[in-house]
């Protein structure tokens, strides 16, 4: 096919094309009789095959020559051209490979290999990062601290660029906490919905900050706010992660009487996250309030059963139960210390790890 027939195609893109040859008899009843129809179908099945002589003619025209043609002609003398042609047909069979998978394959070796200093590059491949609203407020205690947001965005972007699939759930306590505002004419359900809107505000802020670092980010809301966020669809969220995008889940679970911790545990189980990283304003889980007791002990590892038995303030009981049932370890650390998100992804015990008795030590010990 000459390139002049397709003005939008360059000559260099032209390739030899196998043409279909059909033989049809021009009679008034060509398409009215079954015999003519059978002859037309039989003719359509006949195709012109590429012969060795045609490959030799291709070699005579440098613009049309291809490595396959050269290899076939070279193997003619060896008597192996037929086997080579069969193998080439097998190799040229189209295979659909998502573009994101090629990038994941390139980073897979980086994930499994060890760096020069013996440190494992990344410990998990898909994680759920839970950021409390109070942490975004910084020292002011209300609103959003731009420096804190930039710090979180930088670390999330570093992890995403390194091949980690990062999902986030952000709280809304820096603006409104529904459980504390109940009363004075405001019922608990309405207060919780107001808190969900606060989480969407924080999600949009984090989205803009992360995208400013060059990482595409999507906000998915459990409440339908189509003008500013996508509706939450589990398969779409997973697809975003597979394409290397950061996904921020806003509005919690979309239901009142559930905390954003429960929302983080629920979304982590739905997207098959390997760990939940809970970023707070404290260094981890203590046996007592460190603000009131200077001798409070910091736990390095805990089991789900210990947290439930002692009533420790890691997460609410619903969130801990969800993580326990799905065997998802929870790492609680201080987000105000720069670099802790990346350190947690690399396997360092930067706070307290909560997991099953069998996996807690293996998953949460400090890297060598």
- Is the pLDDT assigned to residue 127 strictly greater than 50? yes
For 64-78, 127-141, 187-201, 246-260, which range has the lowest pLDDT when averaged over its residues?
A: 64-78
Q: How confident is the model at residue 328 (pLDDT cuts 50, 70, 90)?
A: very high
Q: What is the pLDDT of residue 1?
A: 43
Q: How confident is the model at residue 68 (pLDDT cuts 50, 70, 90)?
A: low
Element (H, E) at 307: helix 304-310
In 80-223, which residue ranges form alpha helices assigned H by DSSP? 81-91, 99-112, 133-137, 146-161, 178-181, 188-211
Q: How would you classify the pairing of strands 285-286 and 298-299?
A: antiparallel
Query: Which among 41-45, 60-64, 195-199, 315-319 has the top mean pLDDT?
Result: 195-199
Distance CA 207, CA 221 (A): 13
For 101-105, 337-341, 343-347, which range has the lowest pLDDT when averaged over its residues?
A: 101-105
- Is the pLDDT assigned to residue 209 strictly greater than 90? yes
Query: Residues 234-262: what's their mean pLDDT?
Result: 95
Identify the burial level of 206 via C-beta atoms within 10 angstroms of its C-beta, where 0-12 means exposed, 13-18 middle and 19 or more buried.
buried
Q: What is the pLDDT of residue 211?
A: 96
Q: What is the pLDDT of residue 281?
A: 83
Cβ–Cβ < 8 Å for 313, 360: no
**What tokens appear for 359 in the block?**
């996996």
Q: What is the pLDDT of residue 314?
A: 79
How open is the CA angle 319-285-307, to the nearest 5 degrees? 50
- Is the pLDDT assigned to residue 169 strictly greater than 50? yes
Distance CA 361, CA 355 (A): 8
The size of the chain, in residues, is: 368
Q: How would you classify the pairing of strands 165-170 and 352-355?
A: unpaired
Query: Residues 37-50: what's their mean pLDDT?
Result: 51
Q: What is the pLDDT of residue 114?
A: 45
Q: What is the pLDDT of residue 24?
A: 43
Q: How confident is the model at residue 329 (pLDDT cuts 50, 70, 90)?
A: very high
Q: What is the pLDDT of residue 278?
A: 92
Give the number of other Cβ atoms within 10 Å of residue 223's Cβ: 17
Query: Residues 170-199: what's their mean pLDDT?
Result: 84
Element (H, E) at 236: helix 234-242
- Is the pLDDT assigned to residue 287 strictly greater than 90? no
Q: How confident is the model at residue 325 (pLDDT cuts 50, 70, 90)?
A: very high
Q: Give the contacts of 304 (CB within 8 A, at least 6 positions apart).
A: 320, 321, 323, 324, 354, 355, 356
Mean pLDDT of the chain: 75
Could you list the beta-strand ranges (E) of 165-300: 165-170, 217-221, 230-231, 246-250, 275-280, 285-286, 298-299
With the C-alpha atoms ordered 225, 322, 310, 299, is the resulting torsion angle positive or negative? negative
Identify the burial level of 242 via C-beta atoms within 10 angstroms of its C-beta, where 0-12 means exposed, 13-18 middle and 19 or more buried.
middle
For 41-45, 139-143, 264-268, 305-309, which range has the lowest pLDDT when averaged over its residues?
A: 41-45
Query: Residues 178-196: what's their mean pLDDT?
Result: 81
More confident residue, 217 or 307: 217
Distance CA 325, CA 327 (A): 6
Task: State the DSSP code for 177.
Answer: -
Task: Write b or e for each residue in 156-187: b if 16 or more Cβ atoms lie within 10 A of its Cβ, otherwise e.
Answer: bbbbbebbbbbbbbbbbbbbbbbeeeeeeeee
More confident residue, 225 or 361: 225
Distance CA 54, CA 15 (A): 13
Q: What is the pLDDT of residue 315?
A: 86
Q: What is the pLDDT of residue 293?
A: 84
Q: What is the pLDDT of residue 14?
A: 42
Q: What is the pLDDT of residue 345?
A: 82
Q: How confident is the model at residue 90 (pLDDT cuts 50, 70, 90)?
A: very low
Q: How would you classify the pairing of strands 298-299 and 301-303?
A: unpaired
More confident residue, 353 or 4: 353
More confident residue, 293 or 17: 293
The 3-state DSSP class for residue 301 equals strand
What CATH class does 126-359 carry? alpha beta
Q: How would you classify the pairing of strands 352-355 and 246-250?
A: unpaired
Q: What is the pLDDT of residue 179?
A: 67
Q: What is the pLDDT of residue 101?
A: 41
**What tokens appear for 14 in the block?**
């032209």
Cβ–Cβ < 8 Å for 167, 244: no
């Amino acid at each position: 096919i000459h390139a002049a027939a397709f003005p939008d195609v360059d000559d260099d893109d032209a390739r030899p094309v196998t043409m279909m040859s059909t033989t049809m008899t021009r009679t008034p009843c060509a398409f009215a009789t079954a015999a003519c129809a059978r002859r037309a179908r039989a003719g359509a099945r006949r195709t012109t095959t590429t012969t060795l002589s045609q490959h030799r003619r291709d070699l005579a025209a440098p613009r049309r020559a291809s490595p396959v043609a050269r290899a076939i002609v070279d193997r003619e003398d060896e008597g192996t051209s037929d086997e080579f042609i069969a193998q080439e047909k097998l190799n040229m069979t189209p295979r659909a490979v998502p573009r994101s998978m090629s990038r994941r394959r390139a980073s897979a070796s980086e994930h499994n290999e060890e760096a020069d200093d013996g440190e494992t590059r990344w410990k998990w491949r898909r994680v759920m990062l839970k950021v409390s609203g109070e942490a975004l407020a910084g020292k002011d205690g209300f609103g959003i601290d731009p420096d804190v947001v930039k710090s979180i965005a930088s670390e999330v972007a570093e992890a995403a660029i390194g091949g980690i699939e990062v999902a986030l759930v952000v709280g809304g306590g820096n603006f409104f906490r529904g459980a504390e505002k109940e009363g004075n004419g405001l019922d608990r359900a309405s207060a919780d919905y107001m808190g969900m809107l606060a989480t969407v505000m924080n999600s949009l802020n984090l989205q803009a900050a992360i995208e400013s670092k060059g990482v595409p980010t999507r906000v998915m809301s459990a409440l339908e706010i189509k003008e500013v966020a996508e509706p939450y669809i589990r398969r779409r969220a997973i697809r975003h992660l597979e394409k290397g995008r950061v996904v921020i889940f806003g509005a919690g679970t979309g239901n009142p009487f559930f905390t954003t911790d429960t929302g983080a545990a629920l979304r982590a189980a739905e997207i098959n996250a390997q760990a939940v990283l809970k970023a707070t304003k404290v260094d981890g889980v203590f046996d007592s309030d460190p603000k009131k007791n200077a001798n409070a002990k910091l736990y390095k590892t805990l089991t789900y059963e210990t947290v439930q038995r002692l009533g420790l303030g890691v997460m609410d009981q619903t969130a801990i139960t969800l993580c326990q049932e799905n065997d998802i370890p929870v790492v609680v650390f201080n987000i105000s210390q720069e670099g802790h998100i990346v350190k947690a992804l690399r396997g360092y015990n930067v706070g307290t790890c909560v997991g099953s008795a069998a996996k807690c030590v293996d998953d949460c010990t400090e890297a060598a």
